[in-house]
Amino acid sequence: MQTNINRQELNRRFKLVFEQLIERGQIVKNHRQKSKSAFAEKLGTKSHILNLYLKNERKITYEQAKKLCQYFGVSEQYMFQGIGEPFSSTKLPDPEKRLRMALGIDFPPNILFTNTEAFASDTIGVDLWEENERFRIPGMTGDLVAFYINGASMKPTIDAGDMVICSPIAGENDFEEDQVYAIVSNTCVWVKRLQKCFDRHGKWTHLRLISDNHEEYDPFIIELSEVRRILKVTRRITGLR
């Protein structure tokens, strides 16, 4: 069914729903839990990408439209077929439903739990979830990866035995220097702060990996060609083991 949907019409309906969500108080400027950025995160994207949808410079994806319906009670018939109204009622979801949504009860687990060895191998990818343990943390959306940290190179920010939850970055523009990332190469996974390194022509060719425990661990540089994927460390969970 989705392949027959006009993406331009889907995006037009998304823009209308977005304005109605503002009117309904479900998107509120500078509100920690209801901001545009928080809204974008629930759809599995970023605020600047959302702005492109609203300007018709890019089109919302089918999966994001599906999440919009799940999280905000938007009619799927309206979004995908243009039938009826965006909301079946002018009222917000009842308190019980809002609580279930907040607890993540109505949505499938989206965090893949693995180990660094498997994550670095060719047998598993960020988008391959079926044969691995998964779980959900309320408020965390998108396809995420979790694993335990070995070693003390990132102390005191991250301790050995902590679990980190990581989100794949969409592209180079989402990369922020000096933030903590998981870097997956062909042989291993590092969790470090990153800096870009350029050649004399201004081309990004290498990454400088920096440990927070810099007294014991020196920075080192790897070629960008060695990197298979980069994921942003979005949450640290400690005391699990």
* Residue-level pLDDT at 114: 75
Structural contact between residues 226 and 207, judged by C-beta atoms closer than 8 angstroms: no
Q: Give the Cα separation of 121 and 184 in Å (integer).
A: 9
Domain boundaries, the chain: 2-100, 111-237
Strands 204-210 and 220-223: antiparallel
Task: Output the six-digit token pair for 240.
Answer: 């699990």
Strands 180-185 and 163-168: unpaired
How does pLDDT run across 47-102, given as a tens digit for each residue? 999 999 999 999 999 889 999 998 888 988 889 888 888 986 545 555 555 555 55
Quote the pTM value: 0.52
111-237 under CATH 2.10.109.10, yes or no: yes
